[in-house]
Structure 1
Amino acid sequence: MTETPRDPWIPREPASLVIGAIAAQVIGGLVPQMSPFVIAGLMAGLSLSERDSGLVVSAEFLTLAATAIAIAPVLPRLSYRRVGLVAAALTLLAQGASTFSASWTSLVLLRSLAGVGEGALYAVSLSIVASHCRNPDRVYGYFQVVWALGSAGLFAVGGEVTAAFAHRGILGLIAGVTLALAPLLFLVPDVRAKTGSGTLVASAQASPMLCVMTLASIVVYVAASAAIYAFSAPLGERAGLDTSAVGYALTVSTLVGLAGAGAATALNVRWGRAIPISGFCIGFMLVVLALCFWRNPAAYVIALGGSVVVYYFSMPYLLGLAAALDRSGRWAAAAGSAYLIGFAAGPLVAGAVIVAAGYAGLAAVCVAFTLAAWGLAMAVNRGVTTSSRCPHSSRAEA
């Protein structure tokens, strides 16, 4: 399948828009990325239990996801820049206050408030790319490149500041990164996703069933990925590595993940979406089986690196599929919420499965989830492709 050009009145991606969107993406997704350190910092600094620390993070995740999906329908009618700046201000206020909070109740309230701002920024980053870029899949690939590069440094610094200053160290780091990136939000265009001749977006709404199937595919696939990621340390210990070695393996794997992000960016939709989606689903199932069944340190390191490569390769295609549903970017914004729900659900599902059926059960569940996600994504891709070929449709496959 070859790439079908997008509508001619949608301009090519200006660098300022891409930089602003990446800044919004990083600020909005920073806490989920650094959540292991947040939990560890809360346990060390405030002597919270695993449950209470997890509840603080879960509250932020829930408000983040709820805000992203709540704002998605109206976001195309609002100014992206104004929404981003207001959300960043709210996020900074809550993050700064929570850094000095000493009680569990105030932390839950403040981190939930931060989640509102982060959710709006996450939605802005996905929606503006879907509505204002000629090739959203490629720009979503840029997102993954930045995450792969940035995460390696953030993991190293995050571990040090958490060890030295507990929760204040990691929350302060998150607030500092947010403050440093906030000025880049001025690069986000002060525009709305309008329709009509001479404007940026031609809105063509896909069927509600395709939209729901897309979100379900993202939730299920990310849940499987997060399940493996959350238990990567125990999996490494089963393979014969200590915790320190697992940490180094994760850092190296993050850098190796650049290969997946780079491949998705370079390939984008030159071969359509069906072949890449099928490829990363097969690849993920293979690494799951290797991680859960093959107790060998070298095999673990290789499989862990493969899982990160597959993850960074896969996300641009799933987000791009959501962007193809609606040119105004509403479903792309909602896809951010679906991602966060899957990310939060993965560890919970994995923990329950491991207790009930061990790591063989985890492998079986992750493979089943991946097959379900593949089936849903293939059905949606077929529907999008059929719609794009309809002569009366203003939508073309991205």
Structure 2
Amino acid sequence: MFAPRTTPWPLVALFTAGYLAPYLLPTTVGRLDSGLPVSATQAGAIGSALLLSSAAAGFLLASRVDRVGPRTLARIGLVLAVVGYGGAALSSAVPAVVVGALVGGFGSGTATTVAATGIAAMGVPPREGVRASGSDPHRVTTLGLLCVSALAGVVYLTVPHLGPGHGQPLAAIALTALAVWPLTGRLPVRTTAPQTGQHDDRTPLPHPRSGLVLAATLLCWSLVQNALWGVSGRIGLTQAHLSETTVGAVFAVALGAGLLGVVGAGAVGPRLGLAVPIGTGTALISACIVLSASATDLTTFATGEIAWNLLYPVVLSYVIGLAASLDPRGRWAVLVGSASSLGTAAGPLTGSLLSAQAGFPVMGVALAAGLLVIAVPMTAVARGTGRRPLPVVEIPVEAPAQQHAYDTTAA
């Protein structure tokens, strides 16, 4: 698909465009209830609907990328994102904003599906007549996370200075999709099947038990993360009594810490295996959630958010890599990612309801306890995969959906 030893920038760009909406969730939800006649819970529900639409795209399109073609499908997704988010940004009518969020969310999910499928295919070992891509999925994943974190950080620093209203973060997502469009010309019109005779959407999924367990647990894992992320802005504004500018600065620094975490994960690669980063990282994240949710001042709020954002993309990159290692065609990567999006979609509404009923600190304890419970089966899947022979890619490099398939000996 791509020349050896080159970075697949079209896939990185699609990954960035697809993931930007979840990364901007706090400011998007926060500005919906301040810029439109909706309550905080209703704003959370709109955010959840956006992400649910994104997840639906992944489930519907996971096995159809080969059939439709990466270039065509990517362009369809970007058009939907531009039209949906752009329309929602320009409208002040709640129904129009909801429809725009749904259309834009489906576009984001489509872009993410194409990116995840292409990145997972990089882990396919070279065979006679087909040259290796020269890219390892984990490296591309970390690069995509770096790009989306950096872009989201810029938006968080900029939006408070652009005046009130709900449109600015939505417009940022639409403009990103528009900017990515020219790079789609470098995507293939059709993909090559990873193995001869297997270019068939009906080929059974390998490792169904591990895949289903990982999908179910990642759904819950993402729900917990985004239940907090969806209300983090309100925690900073109402419980810690900070200004929007200060909260935005904390988020920008936190996303910067996430960049460092991703760089560290990329440098460490497979040397720690899969189980240690996923299990230990999830346990540490649970502690950060309790700290953030109980914050009543700048120091506690910033510490919790920064530490959490440092760890979150690290664990996510390993989990996405684990999913991709289960199927070199990338179907588990997309399906597990879509399950994650379902959890992400339910997160804002869950966080809004829990915090409204029990308060932010109790919400944090409940979320952390749930996270510790699901860390057990996630770690078990990671340990089992580490003992199982996986595809080997000779050249270490990149990608959001399949990090660990390139080196099974170190796992």
TM-score (normalised: structure 2): 0.81
CA 350–280 in structure 1, closer or farther in 2 if over 3 Å, else same: same
Q: Deviations over 1:197-249 (max 9, x none)?
A: 59999x88433221111112211222222223233345446875523433322
Q: Quote the Cα distance in structure 1 between the aligned partners of 2:106 and 2:233.
A: 31
RMSD across aligned positions (CA)? 3.3
1:14 counterpart = 2:13? no
Q: Deviations over 1:147-178 (max 9, x none)?
A: 221111111223333x25x2344433332222
1:84 counterpart = 2:84? no
CA 362–22 in structure 1, closer or farther in 2 if over 3 Å, else same: same
Q: Is the 8 A contact 2:275 2:380 kept in 1?
A: no
**Could you tell me which residue of structure 2 aligns to residue 4 of structure 1?**
none
Q: Deviations over 1:47-66 (max 9, x none)?
A: 34445544443332222111
1:60 counterpart = 2:68? no
1:187 counterpart = 2:171? no
Q: Is the 8 A contact 2:325 2:390 kept in 1?
A: no
1:229 counterpart = 2:254? no
What displacement does 1:94 show? 3.2
Question: 1:80-119, aligned counterparts within 5 Å?
Answer: 80-119=70-109
What displacement does 1:306 show? 0.6
Q: Quote the Cα distance in structure 2 between the aligned partners of 1:38 and 1:281.
A: 26
Q: Quote the Cα distance in structure 2 between the aligned partners of 1:100 and 1:188.
A: 31
Q: Is the 8 A contact 2:205 2:332 kept in 1?
A: no
What displacement does 1:42 show? 4.2
Q: Quote the Cα distance in structure 1 between the aligned partners of 2:92 and 2:153.
A: 29
1:126 counterpart = 2:125? no
Q: Quote the Cα distance in structure 2 between the aligned partners of 1:54 and 1:361.
A: 19
Q: Deviations over 1:127-157 (max 9, x none)?
A: 1111124522222111221122111111122
Give 1:194's aligned amino acid. Answer: A
**Could you tell me which residue of structure 1 aligns to residue 398 of structure 2?**
none
Q: Quote the Cα distance in structure 2 between the aligned partners of 1:389 and 1:91.
A: 35
Q: Quote the Cα distance in structure 1 between the aligned partners of 2:332 and 2:166.
A: 35
Q: Deviations over 1:6-28 (max 9, x none)?
A: xxx9986631x2x1112111222
What displacement does 1:352 show? 3.5
Other structure's SS at 1:388 match: coil
What displacement does 1:326 show? 0.6
Question: Does 266-275 or 108-117 show the bigger shift?
Answer: 108-117
Q: Is the 8 A contact 1:79 1:191 kept in 2?
A: yes
What displacement does 1:378 show? 1.8
Q: Deviations over 1:291-310 (max 9, x none)?
A: 34575643432232111101
Q: Quote the Cα distance in structure 2 between the aligned partners of 1:13 and 1:86.
A: 29
Q: Is the 8 A contact 2:48 2:344 kept in 1?
A: no
Identity of aligned residues (%): 23
Q: Is the 8 A contact 1:75 1:330 kept in 2?
A: no
Q: Quote the Cα distance in structure 2 between the aligned partners of 1:363 and 1:51.
A: 17
Unmatched runs of 5 consecutive residues or more in structure 2: 124-134, 392-404
CA 152–370 in structure 1, closer or farther in 2 if over 3 Å, else same: same
TM-score (normalised: structure 1): 0.83
